[in-house]
Amino acid sequence: MQLWSDLNSATDMVLSPLIRRVSIYLVLSSAAVGALNLLDLEQSKAYTVYIPLFIGIYVLSRWIDSKFSAVPDAGKKAQTEATKTSETSDRGFGT
């Protein structure tokens, strides 16, 4: 039973960032494609716009995702640092 619980929590840890990243990319790319379709570009040369657009959307979505994931990690990092300093200060110098 413990193995199932560990597997379930590991899956949640992987799926949550994955769903967040896919959702951000989906929203940005849908908005960009909708905006480009309103411009009436010639379809034979559309790749010259779409390729840089989707590369830019990917970079932007990763940046937005890093802003979302940085908030909880900062709290964990500060807590870990505080734990490390309290552990070393209990021992004293040279003991």
For the entire predicted model, the pTM comes to 0.57
Mean per-residue pLDDT, 15-27: 88
Q: Would you tell me how many other CB atoms lie within 10 Å of the CB of residue 20?
A: 15
Q: Is the pLDDT of residue 82 over 60?
A: no
More confident: 74 or 14: 14
Domain borders along the chain are 31-69
Continuous H helices in 1-95: 2-37, 47-91
